[in-house]
Amino acid sequence: MNEYKDIATPSRTKEILKKHGFSFKKSLGQNFLTEPNILRKIAEAGDLSKEDGVIEIGPGIGALTEHLARHAGKVLAFEIDQRLIPVLEDTLSPYDNITVVNEDILKADVVAEAKKVFDEEQPIKVVANLPYYITTPIMMHLLMSPLDITTMVVMMQKEVADRMTAKPSTKAYGSLSIAVQFYMEAKLAFIVPKTAFVPQPNVDSAIIKLEKRETPIVDVIDETFFFELTRASFTQRRKTLWNNLTSHFGKDDQTKQWLEKSLEESDIDPKRRGETLSIAEFGKLSNVLITNKNRYNE
């Protein structure tokens, strides 16, 4: 299908926007890529084949969508902006393997939509240029989804990408790093300069590649509690683990005894900061806290 003109050249993008009288909505974080080579690299990072089903979020005018359609079996794209639906019908008319759903990905029944489009055993990948203002909620929504997503290749603000791929004892490491790395192996694929977009954002972007682990990185008794614990440990980064945990769980004698004993059994110094703990240490502490909960909170 390479005989079609790429959507993502500055002149073609301008032409499409002019034809449809489209104006950017700042509230939707709309920045369109105008570099076909970068789009090709994104699609390549997904290692797509005709066996794959791909979910895209925020297709815009279809610049990345057409590259996904050329390499994957089927593409399911979620676009929140109704004004872009006729634009996509026009720009993507050469392709018969794309389904566009005019819904907010955070409110859509993604599982039901995927069932309609993909075959039962089809591997599902997510490849998307995420809207910056809701990158984290979208990522968490997909990670917690019952959909079996094997790979994610997503573009986001470089700062958020750094946080998702961060290691312990670094400035960027936090509860988001842990939530992402709990389920997926995350690595930075490449940087995208702000000059590659229309309109130009204020910051550079990064592509990260996430591959699903066969099992979560640590074995925890209660995932919900584990994530509550990690979020609580980073409430105030400069505070000690002890201060953050007592602020979150309570300062009464019973709770303090529960926390103190559990930290001791986990070999974790309460004076440490949350950012120094590895995911394995958080996993161990979470399990000990759960095991001790009934003993100290009767």
CATH number of the CATH domain containing 118 = 3.40.50.150
* 141 in the same domain as 273: no
Residue 152 domain-assigned (yes or no): yes
At residue 28, the pLDDT reads 66
Return per-residue pLDDT of the chain as tens, 298 residues. 445 678 888 888 889 889 988 887 766 667 888 899 999 999 999 999 999 999 999 999 999 999 999 999 999 999 999 999 999 999 999 999 999 999 999 999 999 999 999 998 899 999 999 988 889 999 999 998 999 999 999 999 999 999 999 999 999 999 999 999 999 999 999 999 999 888 888 888 999 999 999 999 999 999 999 999 999 999 999 999 999 999 999 999 999 999 999 999 999 999 999 999 999 999 999 999 999 987 766 5
104 is in an annotated binding site: yes
User: And the tokens for 140?
Assistant: 């968490």
| Residues of the domain holding 77 | 10-212
* 243 in the same domain as 165: no
Model pTM? 0.89
CA nearest neighbour of 277 among 288, 263, 298: 263
User: And the tokens for 272?
Assistant: 């440490």
Q: How far is CA 50 from CA 45, 69, 92, 93, in A?
A: 15, 9, 18, 19
Phi, psi of 188 (to 5 degrees): -75, 125
Phi, psi of 152 (to 5 degrees): -130, 130
Residue 34 domain-assigned (yes or no): yes
33 is in an annotated binding site: yes
| Helix (H/G/I), strand (E/B), else coil: 290 | helix
Residue 171 domain-assigned (yes or no): yes
Q: What is the total residue count of the chain? A: 298
Q: How far is CA 257 from CA 138, 246, 265, 269, in A?
A: 38, 11, 12, 15
* Preceding peptide of 270 cis, ω within 30°: no
Residue 5 domain-assigned (yes or no): no
Whether residue 204 contacts residue 235, with contact meaning beta carbons closer than 8 Å, is answered with no
Specify the DSSP class assigned to residue 75. E
* 119 in the same domain as 40: yes
* 194 in the same domain as 166: yes
* 162 in the same domain as 256: no
Residue 114 domain-assigned (yes or no): yes
Rounded to whole angstroms, the Cα distance separating 26 from 121 reads: 39
58 is in an annotated binding site: yes
174 is in an annotated binding site: no
At residue 155, the pLDDT reads 94
